[in-house]
Structure 1
Amino acid sequence: MCILFIYSNPNPPVDGYRLIIATNRDEIFKRPAAEVDKWVEDQYIIGGRDLEKGREGGTWFALSTRPINKQSFLRVGVLLNITGEPRLLKGRGRGNIIVDYVNSDQTGQKYINELRKNSHEFNAFNFIAIEIGDNLAKTYHYSNVDDKGVLELDTTKCLGLGNSLPDAPLKKVLAGEERFRDIVNIYNTKSDKDKLVEELFYLLKWEDRHLPDPELERRAPEWKEYLSCIFVNIPEAGYGTRTHSIVLVDDKGRIDFLEDTMQQPIQVEQPIWRLKRISSHL
């Protein structure tokens, strides 16, 4: 993933939302991937899958509705690459960080503490663990760049994250966060769900450039013009935003997972988009 917006509320009003997520996956167009679905090996898990040779089965974004101690519980794992950091020649596949999290029974805090032991084996990342339970809405962050340990984030007022550390956000993240907050404040009821989804997709397809941005210029000077947009499109590099994902969890525990993704093989100049919806429940 390359940009992520989160809103959570442990005690939403009637017909309100406990969780709203909007996120983009930016990736090489030729990299094969399976679209979002319930996983064959575990129907509690929903997400896309990496099909790249040597990285098969990994994921960038997935959720699990498997109960914990017989209690309803939702866990969402998100992985954001961090641009402009030194790369390992033989780094482990980061997609398994999410796979291991949604397959475990550990809390986000405990999982991150275990992850830290071997985090130097991966290229730079932001890992976000979101947990929704009875009267519970927690969001945890960890990056192996600064290795500050578990950081609990306040997502009750809306939060944006991207390809830099949280304390040095890119300008597009800040601009998107402000627009995301406005959308959530206006359409945060189930009666407005269609409009909420429409506005979130517009946000994820936003092509305005947010420059100047010293942090982005430091991290990716060659591609700063393109990467300053929420919707990234670099045809000459065969790279860009190829998947938009939205997750909604309402006050009754109903889950809507919507994915709008380019159909493979991707035609760079005239991509075909397909919208898929999966419903579940806590």
Structure 2
Amino acid sequence: MCILFIRTNPSPKEGEYRLIIATNRDEFFKRPAKEAFLCPETKIIGGRDLEDDGRGMWAGLRLKDTQKTLCFSCLLNVTGEEIQTGVKSRGQIVSGYLKSDEPSIEYFDNLTKKDKYNAFNLVNVELNKNGVNTYFMSKNPDQICNFSGEQVLAFSNSPVNRPLTKVSEGRVEFEILTQFPKAREELKKDLLQFLKSTEKHLPDPELQRRASDVFEHRCAIFVEIQKIYGTRTHTIILVDRDWNVEYYEETMESPINVDNIVWKKNSFKFNM
């Protein structure tokens, strides 16, 4: 599971941000992963899932040459849907989009026509001087949504029209948290505290239907299940009024020692 919060503002005032992204990655602690890094060949920033030949990504960022567009992509599994065998791995969907020059909907359309995948949600953000668009694209159930201009959005492991309670309630908290101008370090601190929240958002009939055995453990923004599975990476992306970009990550140092967890920090900064 993952959870993703996005605030877009194509015309920010002094001290405001064009883009604010805050997301958690939830995964089994034993699954090997590499912390976020800048790949010199592709110019993609993000972590890697080492179980997918080191090429799998759950989230990433790249400044594409086309109209100097900043592109963010995040993959979210759809909890509770049937798992099929003999289908293509979803791990390279994010990196495939970031490497390509295809617009989001065209990429998604070609992807799902060519290969079969288990259910997933893909959220892409495209930001340039002409504006900002957020695309929610879901496979099983099939769904495409385009949100343009100023928006506050939240997504997780269900269809966009059936959000989990922690998504709908978390969106409100995120909106309040980001509505007024803040210095960068203060905003990052507040967002990290928000991403580490263990408050349970119940009742949640949608999550209970999709994950009846563990829904009480997964109903918080920060997830932990018996030191086996949980939130292991926080990612924050900020683009200010002057087009200064920061990709900030806090992730559990790998291999993860569940009895002595160490959080490692990474930051990548550039100007568009």
Q: Match of 1:40?
A: 40
Q: Match of 1:177?
A: 171
Q: Match of 1:49, SS?
A: strand
Question: Counterpart of 1:137 in structure 2: which amino acid?
Answer: V
The C-alpha deviation readout for 1:126-180, integer Å capped at 9, x for no partner, is 10111001131000111111213x3102572311111111100000111211110
Aligned partners of 1:235, 1:154: CA distance in 2, in Å?
A: 40
Aligned partners of 2:170, 2:53: CA distance in 1, in Å?
A: 31
Are residues 1:137 and 2:128 paired? no
Are residues 1:216 and 2:207 paired? yes
The C-alpha deviation readout for 1:213-271, integer Å capped at 9, x for no partner, is 100110000001100011000125x1100000000011121111110000111112331
Aligned partners of 2:124, 2:139: CA distance in 1, in Å?
A: 14
Write the mapping of 1:117-266 to structure 2, written as runs, cut at 5 A: 117-118=113-114, 121-148=116-143, 150-153=144-147, 156-186=150-180, 188-189=181-182, 192-235=183-226, 238-266=228-256
Question: Counterpart of 1:35 in structure 2: which amino acid?
Answer: E
Aligned partners of 1:155, 1:230: CA distance in 2, in Å?
A: 26
Q: Match of 1:78?
A: 74
Aligned partners of 1:181, 1:231: CA distance in 2, in Å?
A: 18
Aligned partners of 1:269, 1:234: CA distance in 2, in Å?
A: 14
Q: Is the 8 A contact 1:11 1:135 kept in 2?
A: no
TM-score, reference length from structure 2: 0.95
Q: Match of 2:54?
A: 56
Are residues 1:94 and 2:83 paired? no
Moved more, 154-163 or 23-32: 154-163
Gaps of 5+ in 2: none
Q: Is the 8 A contact 2:119 2:141 kept in 1?
A: no
Question: Counterpart of 2:212 in structure 1: which amino acid?
Answer: P
Q: Match of 1:241, SS?
A: strand
Moved more, 16-25 or 153-162: 153-162
The C-alpha deviation readout for 1:76-99, integer Å capped at 9, x for no partner, is 111011100000123322121111
Q: Match of 2:13?
A: 13
Question: Counterpart of 2:65 in structure 1: which amino acid?
Answer: P
User: 103, 109, 116: which is aligned to 2:105?
Assistant: 109
Q: Match of 1:115, SS?
A: helix
The Cα of 1:12 is off from its aligned counterpart by 1.5
Q: Match of 2:96, SS?
A: helix
Q: Match of 1:221, SS?
A: coil
Question: Counterpart of 2:139 in structure 1: which amino acid?
Answer: N
Q: Match of 1:30?
A: 30
Aligned partners of 2:140, 2:193: CA distance in 1, in Å?
A: 32
Q: Is the 8 A contact 1:235 1:268 kept in 2?
A: no
Moved more, 126-135 or 84-93: 84-93
Aligned partners of 1:24, 1:101: CA distance in 2, in Å?
A: 20
Aligned partners of 1:207, 1:253: CA distance in 2, in Å?
A: 33
Query: How high is the sequence identity, in percent, across the aligned residues?
Result: 40
Aligned partners of 2:253, 2:218: CA distance in 1, in Å?
A: 22
Q: Is the 8 A contact 1:226 1:233 kept in 2?
A: yes
Are residues 1:65 and 2:63 paired? yes
Q: Is the 8 A contact 1:235 1:269 kept in 2?
A: no
The C-alpha deviation readout for 1:199-226, integer Å capped at 9, x for no partner, is 1001110001111110011000000110
Q: Is the 8 A contact 1:83 1:220 kept in 2?
A: yes
Q: Match of 2:169, SS?
A: helix
